[in-house]
Each structure stands twice: as C-alpha cells, then as structure tokens.
Amino acid sequence: MKWKKVSPEMCDILENARKGYDCQNLPMFGTPAYFVNDNMFAGAWQDVIILRLSAADRDEIKSVSDEVVAFEPMEGRPMKEYVAVPEPFASDKREFAKWVARSYDFARSLPPKVKKEKKKG
C-alpha cells in the first residue's frame, strides 16, 4: 500500500478543532498529532483524522456515521481505542468538535504515560 501525504485541508480541520485545548503538538511521521498527559488524543494520517475514544464513544460515533471505522494503519493491525474519521464527517464543524472534545477528555482521563528509561549504549 502506497503512503499518502495528509492534505493541508485535513491538517487545517484538525488544527481548528483542537484550538483552545491545553495540548502538545508532537508531529508523528511528518503529520500532526496532539497529546495531553503524553497520551495522543488526535492526529492526521493519510486521508483521515484519528481520534482516541472510549469504547462507548467508539460505538456511538460509528452508529452516527458508517464512514467512521476502526483505525487500521496496516490491514489487520487495528490500533485499539482509535477511530478513523474521513473528511466529509470532519467537515461538519459542530459535530466534529463534539468528538474532538470527547477524545481530549478521554485521553486526559488516562494516567500520564511513563517515559521509558533510555538504554545506555
């Protein structure tokens, strides 16, 4: 599968939706990724925006739109807790903002990631 670069439009949609949140932008693989307490809550990947949601919220968002699916960066290798949101769904600013807020709140509720000690060479 050939890698697609994230469109500037998708980056803008995500950037606008996450404004006002106390978070870090730590790009991953050259694409935007937003973190709270060192836990990623949203990012852009190829032609989708990914959101980290609770199990109940994942079920709900999938019931709202059949375009939203489990996030699988490689076929057969889903990232649990993440959904892939395509541009048409993300373009509905009010609806999308609601899900970004839920994603942020979920990631913020998780314990901060414990950073691994660097191995001495």
Tell me, what's the pLDDT at 75? Answer: 85
Q: What confidence tens digit (pLDDT) does each residue in 61-107 have?
A: 999 999 999 999 888 888 999 999 999 999 999 999 999 999 999 99
Domain ranges of the chain: 1-40+59-82+91-108
Q: What confidence tens digit (pLDDT) does each residue in 11-27 have?
A: 899 999 999 999 999 98
Nearest to 37 by CA among 102, 100, 108, 117: 108
Whole-model pTM? 0.88
What gap in Å lies between CA 38 and CA 108, rounded to an integer? 9
Query: Is a pLDDT exceeding 70 seen at residue 121?
Result: no
**Tokens standing for residue 12:** 């803008």
